[in-house]
């Protein structure tokens, strides 16, 4: 691979163009951001070299979008922000990407080199600050070294456990000129199959687990009376769906997806035990975590959520993840699809080509199926009540009947998100985005914009119609990023937004109660902290930007509106504001996702 950017080495180009060309060299396709001093010229150069620049309304949403596009494509999205406050606003997206293990690169304008420590405009210790939120940070010492720094940032963001990286843009670099032949990479890249046809960055190395550990894991699964497979978003990100499905089906193993592990194997698969989640976790004798971590979402792997004698098999790309919170019985360090293939090959050799299978008539399967059937009856009863005001279950029961199987779902908000995991199935991997491991509120429309762009690009490459994208948010969650509807309409993105409106955070009050609070003359001391203005007309916001808005309070209205909006989403973005029962809540659960430790 030729390490020189262009053959005409004597040509002089601006620092802005050096940054833009460096991003393009590394296969970056999307750059999200908000321009201002000193990065306006950088954004223009980004467009001139052929990259897609998406101008957002808030740096947080831009950073969330960059991380989400990295998860969906396996290639980091970039986020371009201004100095000081602009970079600070982007830290939320960087932290979210780090905790979720998504690749992204943030480029931040900063003060001129000769004004360091002088109180320059928006001067801030950006490199030092970003070290807490990223895998790699750098302030290039010269324009000539920028391509090398960008290459390292992109490579680091995708190698090993993915995450965020930061590259500084000193203000005086932007318009300064540099001789093209002086822009360099410090080494010739080895010849590996590139991850992207236009990229100079080689694909991440693929690692395998220790064969002895593979044998131990296979033996443990074979001998288990009550095995359980937990499918995490690491399995989705690593594109391990085919191998994992084969392993689970070969052995009749019950599997439980984490929220963003949904769809790696379809939710309607007969071996999925999501509806018996609590029973499966607390009674399994061997649990195999595939790209999932024993953090708060998995109750740390400890009693009473798990059997105190449970054996844990972990499959992870990151060795530091093993033995966290509980001791791993077997640690399989490697790339998920490759490790699963190792297990399949070992099983084939050990059982002479006939894989062992857990009988569907076993006591374990009967025990799980009983709970699955019981929960299905309860959920159906909740969803069947369509009287106004609507419940969450009634809302989702209407929506799900119009969702195609390849629809990308974005879900955000407390009960809004949790109940959607139960009521809205996923059939394909990487087709659900929500608050994730960091539990981040405010991600909704940033994620939805990334998903819509991904849908349009996929359609362009395959010649098929764009996948539908539906963003379902609570009214509080919507408030974090509602102005991004203007971004959605400006770029004519194929998106349907649904705001499930209960007048508050968790729940608010009705209009009569709110009027009484206002009459008291002391709203700050009288209004409960969870209350928002009742019956807000959020659908009017998208109408202001040229989209289509609907207000719904009955099942009939929602049915009509959602059917229309989903059918026309490729023509016009829309928002449906659904007023629901203020007392609506999730059905009684043995324990919820968010729990305190009970030692």
How many whole angstroms separate alpha carbon 14 and alpha carbon 343? 53
Give percent above pLDDT 70 in the chain: 92
8 A C-beta contact, residue 213 and residue 330: yes
Residue 173: which CATH number? 3.40.50.970
What's the pLDDT band for 1 if we cut at 50, 70, 90?
very low
Statement to judge: residues 262 and 321 lie in one domain: yes
> Is 105 part of any domain?
yes
- pLDDT of 590 strictly over 90: no
**CA-based nearest residue to 569, from 550, 553, 552, 586:** 550
> Of the candidates 132, 164, 182, which is a domain's last residue?
182
> Which pair of structure tokens corresponds to residue 596?
């305190």
In this predicted structure, what is the pLDDT of residue 199?
52
> Is 537 part of any domain?
yes
> Of the candidates 322, 342, 369, which is a domain's last residue?
369
pLDDT digits (tens, 9 = 90+) for 572-582: 999 999 999 98
Statement to judge: residues 478 and 358 lie in one domain: no
Q: What is the mean pLDDT of residues 165-180?
A: 92
In this predicted structure, what is the pLDDT of residue 201?
63
Provide the number of structural domains found in the chain: 3
Statement to judge: residues 238 and 167 lie in one domain: no
Could you write out the DSSP letters of every residue in 506-539?
S----HHHHHHHHHHT-HHHHS-TTB--TT--TH
> Of the candidates 134, 167, 182, which is a domain's last residue?
182
pLDDT digits (tens, 9 = 90+) for 431-443: 999 999 888 999 9
Statement to judge: residues 361 and 423 lie in one domain: no
What range defines the domain where residue 91 resides? 8-182
What's the pLDDT band for 5 if we cut at 50, 70, 90?
very low
Statement to judge: residues 26 and 153 lie in one domain: yes
Statement to judge: residues 408 and 518 lie in one domain: yes
- pLDDT of 186 strictly over 60: no
In this predicted structure, what is the pLDDT of residue 589?
47
| Contacts for 400 with CB less than 8 Å, ≥ 6 apart | 423, 424, 425
Statement to judge: residues 427 and 516 lie in one domain: yes
Q: What is the mean pLDDT of residues 190-219?
A: 72
Q: What is the mean pLDDT of residues 171-188?
A: 76
| Contacts for 176 with CB less than 8 Å, ≥ 6 apart | 14, 15, 143
Could you write out the DSSP letters of every residue in 355-376?
-----TTSHHHHHHHHHHHHHH
Statement to judge: residues 430 and 526 lie in one domain: yes
Q: Kindly report whether the global pTM for this prediction surpasses the value 0.85.
A: yes
Q: What is the mean pLDDT of residues 369-373?
A: 96
Give percent above pLDDT 90 in the chain: 78
In this predicted structure, what is the pLDDT of residue 473?
97
| Contacts for 525 with CB less than 8 Å, ≥ 6 apart | none
Among the ranges given (12-26, 77-91, 337-351, 576-590), the one the predictor scored with the smallest mean pLDDT: 576-590
Statement to judge: residues 349 and 416 lie in one domain: no
> Is 380 part of any domain?
no
């Amino acid at each position: 691979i030729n390490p020189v950017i262009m053959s005409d080495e004597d040509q002089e180009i601006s620092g802005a163009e050096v940054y833009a060309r460096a991003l393009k060299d590394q296969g970056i396709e999307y750059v999200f951001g908000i321009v201002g001093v000193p990065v306006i010229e950088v954004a223009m150069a980004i467009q001139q070299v052929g990259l897609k620049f998406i101008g957002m309304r808030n740096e947080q949403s831009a950073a969330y979008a960059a991380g989400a596009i990295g998860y969906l494509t396996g290639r980091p999205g970039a986020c371009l922000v201004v100095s000081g406050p602009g970079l600070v606003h982007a830290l939320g997206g960087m932290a979210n990407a780090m905790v979720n293990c998504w690749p992204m690169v943030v480029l931040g304008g900063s003060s001129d080199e000769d004004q360091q420590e002088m109180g320059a405009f928006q001067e801030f210790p950006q490199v030092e600050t970003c070290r807490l939120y990223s895998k790699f940070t750098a302030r290039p010492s010269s324009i000539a070294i920028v391509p090398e720094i960008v290459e390292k940032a992109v490579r680091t963001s995708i190698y090993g456990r993915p995450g965020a990286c930061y590259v500084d843009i000193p203000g005086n670099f932007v318009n300064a000129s540099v001789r093209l032949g002086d822009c360099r990479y410090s080494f010739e890249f080895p010849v590996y199959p590139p991850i992207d046809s236009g990229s100079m960055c080689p694909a991440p190395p693929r690692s395998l687990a220790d064969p002895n550990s593979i044998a131990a894991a296979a033996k443990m699964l074979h001998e288990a009376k009550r095995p359980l497979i937990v499918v995490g978003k690491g399995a989705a990100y690593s594109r391990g769906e085919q191998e994992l499905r084969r392993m689970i089906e070969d052995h009749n193993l019950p599997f439980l997806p984490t929220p963003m592990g949904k769809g790696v194997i379809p939710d309607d698969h007969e071996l999925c035990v999501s509806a018996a989640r609590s029973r499966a976790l607390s009674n399994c004798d061997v649990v195999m975590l595939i790209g999932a971590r024993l953090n708060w979402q998995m109750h740390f792997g400890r009693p009473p959520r798990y059997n105190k004698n449970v054996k844990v098999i972990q499959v992870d790309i990151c060795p530091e993840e093993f033995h966290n919170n509980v001791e791993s019985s077997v640690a399989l360090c490697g790339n998920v699809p490759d490790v699963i293939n190792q297990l399949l090959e070992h099983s084939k050799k050990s059982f002479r080509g006939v894989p062992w299978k857990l009988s569907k008539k076993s006591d374990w399967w009967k025990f799980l199926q009983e709970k699955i059937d019981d929960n299905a009856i309860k959920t159906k009863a909740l969803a069947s009540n369509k009287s106004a005001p609507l419940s969450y279950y009634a809302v989702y029961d209407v929506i799900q009947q119009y969702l195609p199987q390849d629809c990308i779902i974005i879900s955000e908000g407390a009960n809004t998100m949790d109940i959607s995991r139960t009521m809205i199935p996923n059939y394909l991997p990487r087709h659900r985005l929500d608050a994730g491991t960091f539990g981040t509120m405010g991600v909704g429309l940033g994620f939805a914009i990334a998903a819509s762009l991904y849908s349009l690009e996929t359609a362009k490459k395959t010649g098929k119609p764009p996948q539908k994208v539906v963003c379902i948010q609570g009214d509080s969650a919507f408030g974090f990023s509602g102005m991004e509807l203007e971004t959605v309409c400006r770029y004519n993105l194929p998106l349907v937004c649904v705001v499930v409106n209960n007048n508050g955070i968790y729940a608010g009050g009705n209009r009569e109660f709110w009027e009484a609070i206002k009459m008291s003359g002391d709203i700050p001391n009288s209004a409960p902290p969870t209350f928002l203005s009742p019956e807000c007309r959020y659908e009017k916001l998208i109408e202001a930007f040229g989209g289509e808005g609907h207000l719904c309070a009955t099942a009939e209205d929602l049915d009509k509106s959602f059917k229309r909006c989903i059918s026309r989403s490729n023509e016009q973005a829309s928002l449906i504001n659904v007023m629901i029962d203020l007392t609506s809540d999730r059905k009684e659960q043995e324990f919820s996702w968010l729990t305190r430790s009970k030692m």
